[in-house]
Amino acid sequence: MTVARRFTFSRLLVWIFLAAIVIVSLFPFFWMLIGTTLNPNAVVAGVVIPGKEFPLNWNKAIKNYNLPVYFLNSLKIATLTVLLGVLVNSLAAFGFEKYRSNAREKVFSVFMLSLMMPQIALVIPLFKLMSSLRLLNTHAAIILPALMSPFIIFFMRQNFQMFPTEIMEAARIDGAREIYIFFRIVVPSMKASFVSAGIYMFLSQWNSYLWPLMTILSEEKKTLPIAISSMMRAYTIEYGAVMIIVGISIVPVLVLYLAMQKEFVSGLLGSVKG
Amino acid sequence: MIAPAIILYTSFNLYPILSSLNMVTRKWQGMRTTYIGLGNFARMLNDKIFWQSLGHNFLFMGIQIPIMIMLALVLAAILNQVRRGRGTLRTIFFLPCVTSLVAYSVLFRMLFQTNGLLNNLLMKLELIQSPIGWLNDPGWARATIMIALTWRWTGYNMVFFIVGMQNISNEIFEAAEVDGANKRQQFFRITMPLLRPVILFSLVTSISGTMQLLDEPNVLTWEGGPANATMTAALYIYRQAFVLNSDFGYAAALSYIVVIITAGFAFTQMKLLGRRD
């Protein structure tokens, strides 16, 4: 199909529209970068020319706001969630897909049903449970409930459908045990699926707010999102330093997204095709 | 292989949900609880703020979701036509939705201050005479939440629509072209109907997300303010349990309402999707 590419008024309008959306989409990020170099008053006033206060703001972010502590907490929690969570969920997904039985299908549909459960209905009784387990105000309280993810199980199961069962049978004939098949044959050949499941889990744990807000009380255990929201609660706010911290909370996510865009987006889409 | 997932699920998902059946029949006073039967549900009937909060959820749904989905459809349709720069544009439009809810809420809170950048810009362009109380006026505060939601989620929905459009065979459009259908007719008569399952999926995820809205009204418009104007059901429930009264029984009972509504929407979706086959 050949369409004549002429310059028309409507084409111009379309490009202006696209440009406007690009500006609106990117402006908050751009403004955040500028803000890291400004003094608090200039940030609020909406100055959009870079200033010279980045080193000062950086010092405040580190000394007044304990940025490294929050960053390391967030990193630790998200990393542990990814490592353990991908293992648990992919094993379960593999079990559901390759070792089918009626009982397993029933368990699977119960898991899928819980995808619809609103978070607010779960976290209140979960809080009581954590308090009776004496896990409140620990990072374990954030990690444990996030490990098993119905969505990741669903996503990995979709992916395992593509893994040929013949290979598994061949390996069995050669005397390989099931767990060996999983770790030595399935994992290496389906790296992309594991990576996108990992990114997805990292993003949702790194960005999670409500549950850490409920469970973490002491300053030195806070994650970035709850630390940021409590900074906004203070009487005087060092906006420039807050901009740096917001930036630091966004950067790992942006890097992950830009590096792994293909896997991540196709992973998201895998959930629609189902 | 499934055992670890089942153990985790039972401990941190199933058990809490079952235990909430007991929670909702009790009244919390500090550490002690007393059995009050359906008392929490009776109390909720007279809780005007809760129903208003729930009303805000529906208000956000009713206004913001249609705008966002239309915008996402238009963007997807345009990007589907664009040849050069499609990937870059898609990346840019998708970018907002990877930022954390708190991070973007904080950025928007600063941008939308009464003496902040947005008002300054609008005044310089002489679009407004005096600053708008984006965060202080009830109506504008609700608008601010909806603007923020649209900023973050439009690109996300757009990506689904793009893929949906690419799955539509080109031959259909060529045939329509031969029959003399113009671009607009093609969009409304071919693209939209064939995208129905994808649009439905977007609708349902958006509705269920808006039902659970909490971070934005808590951080961006500050604790559901001004004067509860942006209070949502989930935020109200959270505040009942953790900020105001520590009444977990009542909060759990309120959360059942959210569960029922979400389940209702999901059920409707299954009916609608089922009808297609």
Coil, strand or helix at B204:
helix
pLDDT at B268: 85
- Comparing C-alpha atoms, which of B104, B90, B102 is closest to residue A261? B90
Q: Is A34 on the interface with B (CB under 8 A)?
A: no
Q: Which of residues 130-169 of A touch B (CB under 8 A)?
A: 144-145, 147-148, 153
Q: Is A257 on the interface with B (CB under 8 A)?
A: yes
Domain co-membership, A199 together with A74: yes
Domain co-membership, A43 together with A166: no
Q: Which ranges of A161-238 does DSSP label H, i.e. alpha helix?
A: 165-173, 178-180, 187-189, 191-207, 210-215, 224-231
Q: What is the pLDDT of residues B115-140, one digit of tens each?
A: 888 998 899 898 888 899 999 999 99
Assess whether the previous peptide bond of A150 is cis (omega < 30° from 0). Answer: no
| Residue A59 maps to a domain | no
The neighbouring-strand residues paired with B28 are: B33
B109 vs B104, B118, B141, B173, B258, CA distance in Å?
8, 11, 11, 45, 27
CATH code, domain with A186: 1.10.3720.10
Average pLDDT over every residue of B14-41: 88
| Other beta carbons less than 10 A from residue B29's beta carbon | 11
| Residue A192 maps to a domain | yes
| Residue A99 maps to a domain | yes
Q: How far is B107 from chain A (nearest CA, A)?
A: 7
Q: What is the pLDDT of residues B207-253, one digit of tens each?
A: 989 999 999 999 999 999 899 999 999 999 999 999 987 889 999 99
pLDDT at A73: 97
Domain co-membership, A30 together with A119: no
Q: How far is B81 from chain A (nearest CA, A)?
A: 11
Q: What averages of pLDDT result for each successive group of 10 residues across chain A (274 residues)?
A: 61 90 94 92 85 92 92 96 96 93 93 89 94 94 96 91 88 88 90 87 93 94 94 88 93 84 67 45
Domain co-membership, A19 together with A111: no
| Residue A249 maps to a domain | no
Q: What is the pLDDT of residues B171-187, one digit of tens each?
A: 888 888 888 888 888 88
pLDDT at A7: 67
Q: Say whether pLDDT at B277 is over 60.
A: no
Domain co-membership, A31 together with A82: no
H helix or E strand, kind and range, residue A71? helix A67-98
Domain co-membership, A188 together with A115: yes
State whether A116 and B103 contact (CB < 8 Å).
no
Q: Which residue has the higher pLDDT, B195 or B53?
A: B53
Domain co-membership, A220 together with A114: yes
State whether A28 and B108 contact (CB < 8 Å).
yes
Domain co-membership, A71 together with A117: yes
Q: Is A120 on the interface with B (CB under 8 A)?
A: yes
pLDDT at A1: 42
| Residue A272 maps to a domain | no
Phi and psi, residue A249, nearest 5°: -75, -20
Domain co-membership, A83 together with A201: yes
Q: What is the pLDDT of residues A167-188, one digit of tens each?
A: 888 999 988 888 889 999 899 8
Residues of B in contact with A1 (CB under 8 A): 170, 173-174, 177
B contact test, residue of A14, A25, A153 with most B CBs within 10 A:
A25
Domain co-membership, A221 together with A180: yes
- Please enumerate in sequence order all residues whose Cβ is within 8 A of that of A168, keeping only pairs 6 or more positions apart, or say none: A98, A181, A185
Alpha carbon distance A215, A226 (integer Å): 11
Q: What is the number of structural domains in chain A?
A: 2
| Residue A256 maps to a domain | no
Domain edge (last residue) among A233, A248, A267: A233
pLDDT at A2: 44
Domain co-membership, A48 together with A152: no
| Residue A254 maps to a domain | no
Residue-range definition of the domain harbouring residue A204:
66-233
Q: Which residue of B has its CA nearest to A21?
A: B93
Domain co-membership, A49 together with A117: no
| Residue A260 maps to a domain | no
pLDDT at B9: 94
Alpha carbon distance A127, A215 (integer Å): 7
List the domains of chain B with CATH numbers.
Answer: 22-247 (1.10.3720.10)
Question: At residue B168, what is the residue type?
Answer: I
